[in-house]
Structure 1
Amino acid sequence: MGVEIRVEGLRKSFGRQVIWEDVSFSVPAGEISALLGPSGTGKSVFLKTLVGLLRPDRGHIYVEGDDVPRLEEHELYEMRRRFGVLFQDGALFGSMDLFDNIAFPLREHTRKRESEIRRIVLEKLDMVGLSGAEGKLPGEISGGMRKRAGLARALVLDPEIILADEPDSGLDPVRTAYLNQLFVDLNARLGATFLIVTHDVGTARVLPDNLGLLFRRDLVLFGPREMVLTSGHPAVRQFFNARREGPIGMAEEKDGVRAEGEVPPPLPIPPQLMPSDGRPRRTMRRPGAWLREHGVRPPPGSFIDDQGRDWMADWDLLKAPRAPA
């Protein structure tokens, strides 16, 4: 099962360039969370800091009582086994076939016999839809397959936390949709904590339980998906509406220059992705639940899927177990 990540007062800079000033939030255990932000806001740097590849200037990152920035090197080595990381380009070894790429963490971190390693590798390949591809080299497969192979490698040590750095980067919308569905199915099956860094608004609107937005050296907002998608914060509205008007500029030095103009209304909230078997994940909440609890009216057209079903009205029917075929 997944564990909570608690971040308190995190600051990171490179020389005189401050990446973020005072970031604090908690990633709930066993849920899917997504972290967004304009280019250059330090999203990838944040993931590297979480696993101790970079050390913050100050602040804390607690993973079940362990404060990551204060761990010794040998303690970090052990702690990292709790994480599985999907890097932006898959980060596969080009000279190794997929089997050896995925087996690498098992050979590096465990004393398992080759027969056991083979069983685990083939199981993880099957989980990500790559059965039969274990003998291929990374250069012989598509970008989407490399992403899934990288995900299989991230899963081989059965991590409690899975980090994904812009997994949709370089993928077409159809492959992105398949990858998002794979994340949902894996979370339902494994119960691990997922933190996905992305700038893809489509992914952010339908995939996670929680959303966060980094902007101008700060975390603007982090919380349940419905809270963020209905937020009146100008940067949040601008980002999710893909508008030029607002505090986010063409480049970092232009941020805040064009803050004038009306804040656009929130877009309709789409239904959240359901696992392939049609049964809700343990952490899924009833559509509109957060809105009702906080007296917020959903934007018109919210929770209507492409078949015209109203998920707020028909949730009990939608989540009922399917009859066997």
Structure 2
Amino acid sequence: MGVEIRVEGLTKSFGRQVIWEDVTLTLPAGEISVLLGPSGTGKSVFLKTMVGLLKPDRGHCWIDGKDMPNLRERDMYEVRKLFGVLFQDGALFGSMNLYDNIAFPLREHTRKSESEVRRIVLEKMEMVGLGGAQNKFPGEISGGMRKRAGLARALVLDPQIILCDEPDSGLDPVRTVLLNQLIVDLNAEIEATILIVTHDINTARTVPDNIGMLFRRELVMFGPREMLLSSEEPVVRQFLNARKVGPIGMSEEKDLSELEAEARLGRDPGPLPPIPPQLMTSDGRLRRTQHAPGEWLRTHGVTPPEGSFIDEMGRDWLQEWPKYVAEMSAGAGRHSEGAH
């Protein structure tokens, strides 16, 4: 089961350059969250600060009741054991085969026997679809397989928190979708708290329970997926529409004269696209932390963009959801009865 992460007033700079300041958010336990933002907004720096690799200028990051920036090194080392990290390029050791790469954290941080190590490594490799590939080297496999191997290594210590730093980096669209599916399935299986840093729009729109966005050295907003996907915030609309018009420019942000010129010409980032249904697990089961489609919108009286929650098969999930939940609950009941 994942743990809650509570960030309060976190600020980080390098010299005179402020990366972001006064970032405050809560990652709910066991939920999937995404952190969006244009390139260069400090998303990876945020992950490194969370795990204590970088020290913030001020602020707090509470993990399992412990404030990471104010911990002694020895105590921080213990809290880090709650984390599993999937790096951008997988960060595998080129001289080791996949088995030894994935076994590395177990050999480094535990006193498990080699038979225990083997059982865990093969179990995690099977979990990410790499069964039988233990003798392959990183240079012999595709980028997608390297990502999955990196994810298997992140899982071997049974983390309660998984951080994914641009997991789609270097992957084609199909393999990105497959990796997203794997992350959703893992969340259902182990109920870890997951934070994905990305600038892939499709990942942000379909995978998470919560979304945040960094821009202009601050957290523009953070909250349930439907809140951000229905937001009229100009930078959010521009990013979700992948438009040139809006506050984001080539050097992160446009200057005032560019924005005034766009306003004179009557240009805007365009209407928000429809909110897609959230990605389901491969076997159709409900994740424990999953919310009903449209729940946040109904609670807050927000009308979603036209065409929202309709999947590629034409099913409207606002109508289908109650029936789906009933079927899943009935199926779970039958499975429970059969087990006795």
Q: TM-score, normalised by structure 1?
A: 0.97
Deviation of the 1:253 alpha carbon = 5.7
Deviation of the 1:265 alpha carbon = 1.6
Structure 2 CA distance for partners of 1:174 and 1:263, relative to 1, 3 Å = closer
Residue in 1 that maps onto 2:95: 95
Deviation of the 1:65 alpha carbon = 1.3
Deviation of the 1:316 alpha carbon = 2.1
- Deviations, residues 48-74 of structure 1 (Å, cap 9, x unaligned): 000000000110000021000111111
- 5 Å matches for 1:1-325? 1-252=1-252, 254=254, 258-259=258-259, 260=263, 261-319=267-325, 320-321=327-328
Deviation of the 1:318 alpha carbon = 2.8
Partners of 1:85 and 1:151 within 8 A in 2: yes
Moved over 4 A (4+): none
Helix, strand or coil: the match of 1:272? Answer: coil
Deviation of the 1:182 alpha carbon = 0.2
Deviates more, 1:162-171 or 1:249-258: 249-258
Which letter does structure 1 place at the counterpart of 2:292? R
Partners of 1:210 and 1:223 within 8 A in 2: yes
Partners of 1:37 and 1:214 within 8 A in 2: yes
Tell me, in whole angstroms, the C-alpha distance in 2 between the residues paired with 1:166 and 1:255: 28
Deviation of the 1:208 alpha carbon = 0.2
Tell me, in whole angstroms, the C-alpha distance in 1 between the residues paired with 2:3 and 2:293: 24
Deviation of the 1:288 alpha carbon = 0.6
| Greater Rg by CA | 2
Tell me, in whole angstroms, the C-alpha distance in 1 between the residues paired with 2:214 and 2:151: 25
Flag structure 1 segments of 5+ consecutive residues without an equivalent: none
Flag structure 2 segments of 5+ consecutive residues without an equivalent: 335-340
Which letter does structure 1 place at the counterpart of 2:223? G
Structure 2 CA distance for partners of 1:134 and 1:255, relative to 1, 3 Å = farther
Superposed CA RMSD in Å reads 1.3
Partners of 1:247 and 1:257 within 8 A in 2: no
Tell me, in whole angstroms, the C-alpha distance in 2 between the residues paired with 1:35 and 1:101: 28
Partners of 2:212 and 2:219 within 8 A in 1: yes
Helix, strand or coil: the match of 1:95? Answer: coil
Structure 2 CA distance for partners of 1:41 and 1:255, relative to 1, 3 Å = farther
Partners of 1:90 and 1:147 within 8 A in 2: yes
Tell me, in whole angstroms, the C-alpha distance in 2 between the residues paired with 1:232 and 1:253: 18
Tell me, in whole angstroms, the C-alpha distance in 2 between the residues paired with 1:38 and 1:301: 27
Partners of 1:216 and 1:255 within 8 A in 2: no
Partners of 2:206 and 2:278 within 8 A in 1: yes
Q: TM-score, normalised by structure 2?
A: 0.93
Tell me, in whole angstroms, the C-alpha distance in 1 between the residues paired with 2:184 and 2:254: 36
Partners of 1:247 and 1:256 within 8 A in 2: no
- Deviations, residues 163-186 of structure 1 (Å, cap 9, x unaligned): 000000110010001000000000
Which letter does structure 2 place at the counterpart of 1:287? P
Deviation of the 1:252 alpha carbon = 2.9
Helix, strand or coil: the match of 1:102? Answer: helix
Deviation of the 1:256 alpha carbon = 5.6
Tell me, in whole angstroms, the C-alpha distance in 1 between the residues paired with 2:285 and 2:37: 31
